[in-house]
Amino acid sequence: MGNKISITINGQKVDVKHGTSILDAATQAGVIIPTLCYHKDLCIAGNCRVCVVELAGQKRLATACATPCESGMEVMTNTLKVRNSRKHIIELLLTEHNADCTSCYKNGNCELQTLASEYKIMNQDFIHLVPFKNYTVDKFSPSIIKDDSKCIRCQRCVRTCAELQSVNALTMAFKGEHAKVTTFFEKTMSEVVCTNCGQCINHCPTGALVEKNYIEEVWSAISDKTKYVVVQTAPAVRVGLGEELGFDPGMRVTGKMVSALKKLGFDAVMDTDFTADLTIIEEGTELLTRLKKVLVDKDSTVKLPMATSCSPGWIKFIEHMYPEYLDNLSTCKSPQQMFGALVKTYYAKSRNLDPESIVSVSIMPCTAKKFEANRPEMHDSGYRDVDYVLTTRELAIMIKQAGIDFLKLDDMHYDRIMGESTGAGVIFGATGGVMEAALRTAYELVTGREVPFENLNITPVRGVEGIKEASIKIEKPLKEWAFLDGVELKCAVAHGLANAKIVMDEIKAGKTNYHFIEFMACPGGCLGGGGQPIPTSPEIRAKRAAAIYAEDEGMPLRKSHQNPEVIKIYADFLGKPLGEKSHHLLHTKYTPRKRF
């Protein structure tokens, strides 16, 4: 079926592969067709009908997204009939939509607004339906706000939650005029099986699903003279933020971001990459300890494979879906929470600050981090470890509000301490990154030699494939790790919860023999996180990933255990990995949850 066929679009001949949709053929020919329910990450729905086109000889219009090209097809995308129909459809959507744009969080980044503007819907006189509907706004989740009055029933969120995440927190219910996107028994997002991953937000064309923002709270803290406001930035933020502020996808804006944060008035600008490196030391040691307990001590209470615990969306997922596997999770907190616990202890002590006066803010590519920071167990410093979590998008809003011309900013460096990082910390932002960073350190710890990959790049765990596998054979280990001689360390990487589910089901069925698995809730890892700039697509995520790996390669240090600040924190404060202080501040426990 790989043969080519010819069609015409607006009279222009286009050769396409058999099975190509009219929409893709049009894109190939440089013809733009508007869409709403279509998204590159998702299956075709064909339900908004905005992409209708005319086919010669047919009275009815066809949707460009859902109709495959057929040889000799004559497509017209800009006839009076097409324009009038599209206009009608946009008008209809607007009557059902709370189009109070000026008070909408998505004002300026709304696909429906853009279409309404392009089609100049000026003298719309269809009846406004919103007042007749009992729309509700669900603000109960610490991460996600769901406003039904803005929903256009494109079902992008429903498909996201089902296809990418296998969570199905959001589904369609009722029919006809009552059809709506809702949850199990119409409960609030905070009560149902929602992982707070925010992928629904990333895929929503309107303001129906947005993050709960804490912008005003952070502004208040910054302007409060009695508060010392520190900020940490996650690895993936530096390769996404630029998209919100005028750069093309794939631009690294680390230095500009640090300058901007200082201009915003944060008292210290620090790097989550530092605790990413710290995570590797703790988690790597934990893995090796588990291996020893299983292989040497034959301790049956210790579980393998060990699963990573950096992604809070994944954590909530496993708590709901596979609570019997919580012992397989690494007990390490995520880098954000390690950072939070250290800021109000180690950092406060070194800077001679009252931890009470510290407001700890984190900038994350993630909405689940808001939920994570809100967990009752995350108070190990004696205070709430992380006070406010902002997404990449919220940071961009603050930068705009502050009148900062981001493009013209000079690069600046993170503050010391807790601002130093290695390339291994940076790649946490991409799928496979935690695995790669862990292997770089663990292999060297065990053998005294660098990982046997050219330039430290462990390419088998990189890339867009949903589930990746790699194995490293340990040969000639150092004396204390002699029990690992000849052991083939089997690793897997899964990103997107749908893929996580596949791996977990295989584990459940006893089909795997992995030792270590990296799970990330979002497609592409954190760089494709639910708090990253909108839009997202496989191409955009690939560019962000390339930027992350370029950042890694450009770093003088690329292995977590080389981080001088990490070495120092163990010497001055923590003692040793998995030591008592680490255990108290850097490790956590998990909560089994029900599926409904």
* Contact between 172 and other proteins per CB under 8 A: yes
**Among residues 15, 100, 118, 177, the one that binds other proteins under rule CB under 8 A:** 177
Alpha helices by DSSP H, listed for 355-432, are: 368-373, 392-401, 423-426
CB 224 within 8 A of CB 354: no
97 versus 544: smaller Cβ distance to other proteins: 97
CB 368 within 8 A of CB 197: yes
Q: Which uninterrupted H or E stretch holds 493?
A: strand 488-495
* Contact between 407 and other proteins per CB under 8 A: no
Distance of closest approach, residue 145 Cβ to other proteins, in angstroms: 23
Q: Between β-strands 488-495 and 516-520, what pairing exists: parallel, antiparallel or unpaired?
A: parallel
Whether residue 9 is preceded by a cis peptide bond, meaning omega within 30 degrees of 0, is no
Task: Name the one residue in this structure whose structure tokens are 């010497």.
Answer: 571
Query: Does the active-site annotation cover 286?
Result: yes
Q: For residue 468, what are its two tokens?
A: 């990746």
Q: Which uninterrupted H or E stretch holds 584?
A: helix 580-586
3 versus 352: smaller Cβ distance to other proteins: 3
* Contact between 85 and other proteins per CB under 8 A: yes
Distance of closest approach, residue 303 Cβ to other proteins, in angstroms: 35
63 versus 447: smaller Cβ distance to other proteins: 63
Query: Does the active-site annotation cover 217?
Result: no
CB 534 within 8 A of CB 210: no
> In Å, how far are 467, 509, 515 from 318, measured between CA atoms?
17, 16, 18
175 versus 225: smaller Cβ distance to other proteins: 175
Alpha helices by DSSP H, listed for 36-142, are: 80-96, 111-118
45 versus 169: smaller Cβ distance to other proteins: 45
**Among residues 20, 67, 308, 560, the one that binds other proteins under rule CB under 8 A:** 67
Task: Name the one residue in this structure whose structure tokens are 């990189």.
Answer: 462
Could you say which of 146, 344, 369, 501 is catalytic? 369
Size of the site for other proteins (CB under 8 A): 39
Distance of closest approach, residue 116 Cβ to other proteins, in angstroms: 14
Name the segment binding other proteins (CB under 8 A); options: 176-184, 291-299, 305-313, 385-393. Answer: 176-184
* Contact between 120 and other proteins per CB under 8 A: no
- List, as own/partner pairs, every contact residues 87-94 make where C-beta atoms lie below 8 angstroms and the sequence separation is at least 24, other chains included: 87/119, 87/121, 89/48, 89/49, 89/50, 89/52, 90/50, 90/115, 90/116, 90/119, 90/121, 91/121, 91/124, 91/126, 92/126, 93/36, 93/48, 93/152, 94/121, 94/124
| SS3 label, residue 573 | helix
* Contact between 595 and other proteins per CB under 8 A: no
178 versus 595: smaller Cβ distance to other proteins: 178
* Contact between 68 and other proteins per CB under 8 A: yes
Q: For residue 322, what are its two tokens?
A: 């596979």
90 versus 366: smaller Cβ distance to other proteins: 90
**Among residues 14, 31, 75, 89, the one that binds other proteins under rule CB under 8 A:** 89
49 versus 369: smaller Cβ distance to other proteins: 49
Query: Does the active-site annotation cover 330?
Result: yes
* Contact between 196 and other proteins per CB under 8 A: no
**Among residues 3, 11, 57, 60, the one that binds other proteins under rule CB under 8 A:** 60
Greatest Cα pair distance, the chain, in angstroms, is 81
Could you say which of 48, 69, 161, 310 is catalytic? 310
| SS3 label, residue 512 | coil
* Contact between 596 and other proteins per CB under 8 A: no
Instruction: Report the candidate in 358, 363, 129, 341 with the shortest Cα–Cα distance to residue 244.
Output: 363
Give the 3-state secondary structure of 142-195: CCEEEEHHHCCCCCHHHHHHHHHCCCCCCEEECCHHHCEEECHHHCCCCCCCCC
Could you say which of 186, 377, 488, 580 is catalytic? 377
Query: Does the active-site annotation cover 377?
Result: yes
Show contacts with other proteins in window 11-50 (CB under 8 A): 44-50
177 versus 356: smaller Cβ distance to other proteins: 177
d(CA 233, CA 551): 15
Query: Does the active-site annotation cover 582?
Result: no
* Contact between 79 and other proteins per CB under 8 A: no
Distance of closest approach, residue 536 Cβ to other proteins, in angstroms: 24
* Contact between 150 and other proteins per CB under 8 A: no
* Contact between 57 and other proteins per CB under 8 A: no
Name the segment binding other proteins (CB under 8 A); options: 54-62, 217-225, 274-282, 487-495. Answer: 54-62
Query: Does the active-site annotation cover 526?
Result: yes
**Among residues 176, 376, 510, 556, the one that binds other proteins under rule CB under 8 A:** 176
Residues assigned a catalytic role: 283, 286, 310, 330, 369, 372, 377, 526
Q: Which residues bind other proteins (CB under 8 A)?
A: 44-50, 52, 59-61, 63, 66-68, 81, 84-85, 88-89, 92-93, 95-96, 125-127, 129, 132, 152-153, 155, 172, 174-179
